Amino acid sequence: MRTSILYVCAILIVFNIISCKEEKKLAELKCSLFSSFTIYPDSTFFKGISCLFFEENKLYMFDPSRADVAVLDIDRDTFYTVGKFGEGPKEVVSPTGFYVQKDTVYISDAGTMTLKLYDGKGFIESVSVPTCNEFRFFIDNDTVYATTMTDSSCYVKTAINWDRVNNNDIQFCGDVFTMTEYADMNMLRNQRHLVKGKDCLYTICPSYPVVEKYDLHKNKLLASCDLSDIGVIKDNLSYIKQKNIS
């Protein structure tokens, strides 16, 4: 619970800093509804959309309770889904997240430790990955960047065509924070959301008020932003310390 509160506070502070740089008069933009939908193409309904992605006039909606990603193509006025529950090679056992790159949808499947690839025509292929969880991941060219759990690294890099038999292609990267004396708990709390930037990546730790920036290819730490001196986060940290709970 406390880690969720800290994570939400960090996001709110970042938005607050951005919005307070310089006060400008905002132009009024009048909007009107031009399109809507309430059901899927197969006449079923939304259940629990947890994440959205918008690129090139396409809206991608990830629903782990359905194991699919709904795609709304605004230009073509089409709506379709990719992925579904099942144990077949084209299906998803336990969906944890998704990413979009060049019209290809990657759904992470913790049940098979794979990424299932889809496009508008359907299933493309399944590729093996060393880790699958609910933390954000991304693809850069043919390299997968995902969060991991070790005592000395916070994210992992592997080739998209990685073979489990030959694990020499795995690169464990990123520094870890010392949060607890217990090794297992420390690894768990050091997991990060990974966000791709231009020639860099950002690691966001839900359990620690620091955002780090790494070189995308050299894995070198470029910058670290400590949010603990920001008022609302400082108060939250003080509250957590007083409670002294796990």
- Say whether both 140 and 213 belong to one domain: yes
In the chain, how many domains are there?
2
Structural domain harbouring 59: 40-128
For position 228, which CATH number holds?
Answer: 2.40.10.480
Residue in this structure with the two tokens 């073509």, named with its chain if needed? 76
Domain assignment of residue 194, yes or no: yes
- Say whether both 72 and 151 belong to one domain: no
3-state secondary structure 84-140: CECCCCCCECCEEEEEEECCEEEEEECCCCEEEEEECCEEEEEEECCCCCCCCCEEE
Note down pLDDT in tens along the chain; length 246 residues: 445 544 545 555 554 554 455 567 788 989 898 777 777 777 777 788 888 999 888 999 999 999 999 998 888 888 899 999 999 999 999 999 999 998 899 999 999 999 999 998 999 999 888 888 899 999 998 899 999 988 899 999 998 877 776 666 789 999 999 888 888 888 888 999 999 999 999 999 888 889 999 999 999 999 999 988 888 888 887 887 787 665
- Say whether both 191 and 138 belong to one domain: yes
- Say whether both 61 and 162 belong to one domain: no
- Say whether both 175 and 239 belong to one domain: yes
- Say whether both 93 and 179 belong to one domain: no
